[in-house]
Amino acid sequence: MWYNAGALACWGGIFGKKRIDTMKLVNVGNALKVTCVGFAAGVLLRVVQMLYFFDYDTGFYTDGGVMAWISLALPLATGLLASWMCFRSRRYFGPYVPRKNVMAGVTSVLSGAVLLLSGALQWMDLRLQLAAGGEYVALHGLFLGCCLLFGLVQLFLSVGFFTGKNSLEKARLLYLVGVLWGVAYLILVYVFYAKSSSFVENFFAVLGGVATLLCLFYLCKLFAGVDEEGAALIATSELLSLKPVIYAANLDEEGFSHPDQVEYYQQVSQRAAEEGAQCIPVCAQLEAEIAQLDGEEKAMFLEDLGIAQSGLDRLINASYTLLGLISYLTAGEDECRAWTIVNGTKAPQAAGKIHSDFERGFIRAETVAFEDLKACGSMAAAREKGLIRSEGKDYVVKDGDIILFRFNV
């Protein structure tokens, strides 16, 4: 089973170094070198230990445990140093960007092959345990299935490294199979060494399983596109490419009335659909004429054109919807005003858009829907019909609400 962990570590290290070298991260590249040197020294130390300082009859070391403690201190020091170097460069880790990487592809194939071989060996061991009525048959069966599935995932992933594409783009959570393999492996290691009297063997087996599981968690996040720090950093920037998009197609008068019959509009609409965006037809010439008209004339003009809304009104409504915004109204003797808030905002926070005192001293919100007030003709008539509601702090403001806030500070 340790061959699996070794292959995964090798694959992860080479893949990580390729991605990091591209980003010129010297500290993490050096951490990989430290890990490789520590691994080579550890293998050499282990060979010397087993050849000259181990009694195979008793199962104990013959040097009083000196070599055992050295073999414990070396990987710990190597791991701490490499972890510190990676920690120094943690803020530079970005989201996974697919690129052609032959070395990562080869190591991914090797790790997949080792996992499949391990699955075959587990199958042979499982058959013997079933025949002998051994313990933990179900656990070994789970680990067998995870080995086979994870091996196939590794092989599938290697295709992306050879072609420069993300093989898991349409199945981003598929690498969770690797996490499941890590969990099963860690449980199996713990059960296997539960009765072991060797602290060093037990310690490194469990520690290696935990480290492998953490690595698999990170790789799963990487291939799934989950990058909390990067997303938080990017969210603070004002990159235009991150902003939601609406396509506004400028048409002539005839095309504005029947945009579906305009070839160029169809091309823009198709482009918008491919990007998950919306395409709004507008006519700049008509908008200039509509801007000169009053309410009744505007309605008659749009009716003659056979449309319900002007292009500008459509664009405003689409923009509000895209950004998740709504408006509520306040009406008084002096003015009637619309306030823009995020959809889902509760009454106290909506009151805070007017003034912070409104939110701090919020008591209640007297609310009536715009359509109800329009049908009644006045606030007094709406109140007589019981359409004005008294809402508390948990009320979620709706688009078109007319609100009178009661507060005390």
- Residues whose CB falls within 8 Å of the CB of residue 316, separated by 6 or more in sequence, listed in order: none
What amino acid is encoded at 83 in this protein? Answer: S
- Residues whose CB falls within 8 Å of the CB of residue 401, separated by 6 or more in sequence, listed in order: 328, 329, 367, 368, 369, 370
Instruction: Give one word for 368, left, alpha or beta, with left for phi > 0 and alpha for psi -120 to 50.
Output: beta
Render each residue's pLDDT in the chain as its tens digit; 409 residues. Answer: 333 434 344 444 434 443 434 334 445 567 777 777 877 887 888 788 778 877 777 767 777 667 777 777 877 788 778 777 766 655 445 556 677 778 888 888 998 899 899 888 888 888 887 877 767 788 888 888 889 999 999 998 888 888 888 777 777 778 888 888 888 888 887 777 665 555 556 666 777 778 788 888 878 777 776 655 555 555 566 667 667 888 888 888 888 777 888 888 889 988 888 877 888 888 888 888 888 888 788 888 878 877 777 878 888 888 888 888 999 999 877 788 899 999 999 999 999 999 999 999 999 999 999 888 888 888 888 888 889 999 999 999 999 899 999 998 8
Residue 324 is classified by DSSP as T
- Residues whose CB falls within 8 Å of the CB of residue 111, separated by 6 or more in sequence, listed in order: 4, 7, 8, 10, 11, 151, 154
- Residues whose CB falls within 8 Å of the CB of residue 286, separated by 6 or more in sequence, listed in order: 253, 256, 305, 310, 311
**C-alpha dist (Å) from residue 159 to 103, 104, 162, 240:** 12, 10, 5, 33
What superfamily in CATH does domain 324-407 come from?
A: Beta-grasp domain (3.10.20.30)
What amino acid is encoded at 245 in this protein? Answer: V
Domain assignments of the chain as residue spans, ordered by start: 2-235, 249-321, 324-407
CATH of domain 249-321: 3.40.50.300
